[in-house]
Structure 1
Amino acid sequence: MTALIKINDKLSVAGQIELEDFATLAGLGFKAVINNRPEGEEPTQPASAEEAEAAAKNGLTYAHIPVTGPSIREQDVRDLQAVLAKTEGPVLAHCRSGTRSLTLFAIGEVLDGRMKREDLPAFGASHGLDMRGADAWLARNGH
């Protein structure tokens, strides 16, 4: 399985996971999986329907919130926050590398005043991920 990057007690992010990883995630105590990849981004990635089926087979909630860096909307950020809020337990969000998933989370943290925009580089670096996309999104959207 790809490396899981723990952000806090509620959220971890990762690169692409495989269908067989859903059982492992359930065994580790995860309660939900969020897929932030658009369909067919890479020919080898599982389809969202396949991930949803693997999640259901393993007792996990599943959400598909597909984004690319330039396509992120505030609604995508809020959709991720809604999954985190309604899930009783840890959530794994994944994309190709984990960066987009963490970007969605970080944008929400800044929008809601729990993080300052100037803290994004250090926040990303502390998890080994680049938050320039989050900073650019906030700049484009007047934050």
Structure 2
Amino acid sequence: MDLRKIDDQITVAPQIAVDDVAEIARLGFRTLVANRPDHEEPGQPPMAELEAAAREHGLNWVYLPVESGNITDQDVDQFAPMIQQAETPVLAFCRSGTRCTALWALSAARNTPVEVIFTKARNAGYDIGGLAPRLAQQAARQG
């Protein structure tokens, strides 16, 4: 399991396995967020199995599927309040962690300086430079 901490509130990861959920709970995460559509690719664990494991280990489960390479403003509008209201710390996963990082960055841009967002993403191993125009757009939404 490749956990990449963005800040004290959220960590992102590439695809997790059902067997990883017990360790995720042991590490102190309180909410598990799946940003990957079910059946996105062969061999991916079914979301129902991940959800059952999350609940079995006392984790809150959020299923917010987002199409890879196509994060819409509606996706950000759903992610922003969810991440603000989630019991922390949160672990969000997708295929590589990039989609989760982009969702976090776009929602955070509404109340966090863009330079801080770039630094946190880079420190977690993600280059989100291509999101600069959308981050500016989200920053203009404030709130």
TM-score range (shorter-chain normalised) is 0.7 to 0.9
Q: Cα distance, 1:92 vs. partner?
A: 0.2
Rounded Cα–Cα distance in structure 2 between residues aligned with 1:37 and 1:60: 18
Q: Which amino acid aligns with 1:30?
A: F
Q: Secondary structure at the match of 2:18?
A: coil
**Aligned counterpart, 2:124:** 127
Rounded Cα–Cα distance in structure 1 between residues aligned with 2:37 and 2:58: 23
Q: Which amino acid aligns with 1:17?
A: I
**Aligned counterpart, 2:113:** 115
Rounded Cα–Cα distance in structure 2 between residues aligned with 1:121 and 1:64: 26
Q: Secondary structure at the match of 1:12?
A: strand
User: Conserved in 2, the CA contact under 8 Å of 1:34 and 1:63?
Assistant: yes
User: Conserved in 1, the CA contact under 8 Å of 2:6 and 2:121?
Assistant: no
User: Conserved in 2, the CA contact under 8 Å of 1:103 and 1:133?
Assistant: no
Q: Given the superposition, is the C-alpha separation of residues 109 and 20 from structure 1 closer, same or farther in structure 2, using an over 3 Å criterion?
A: same
Q: Cα distance, 1:70 vs. partner?
A: 4.0
User: Conserved in 2, the CA contact under 8 Å of 1:104 and 1:134?
Assistant: no
Rounded Cα–Cα distance in structure 2 between residues aligned with 1:43 and 1:137: 31
User: Conserved in 2, the CA contact under 8 Å of 1:69 and 1:133?
Assistant: no
**Aligned counterpart, 1:74:** 73
Q: Which stretch shows the higher mean deviation, 38-47 or 8-17?
A: 38-47
**Aligned counterpart, 1:55:** 54
Q: Given the superposition, is the C-alpha separation of residues 67 and 39 from structure 1 closer, same or farther in structure 2, using an over 3 Å criterion?
A: same
Q: Given the superposition, is the C-alpha separation of residues 67 and 135 from structure 1 closer, same or farther in structure 2, using an over 3 Å criterion?
A: farther
Segments of 5+ residues of structure 2 without an aligned counterpart are none
Count of matched residue positions in the alignment of Structure 1 and Structure 2: 140
Instruction: Name the % identity.
Output: 38
Segments of 5+ residues of structure 1 without an aligned counterpart are none
Q: Which amino acid aligns with 2:52?
A: E
TM-score when normalising by structure 2: 0.83
Q: Cα distance, 1:129 vs. partner?
A: 1.0
User: Conserved in 2, the CA contact under 8 Å of 1:30 and 1:60?
Assistant: yes
User: Conserved in 2, the CA contact under 8 Å of 1:77 and 1:104?
Assistant: yes
Q: Secondary structure at the match of 1:37?
A: coil
Matched, 1:36 2:44: no
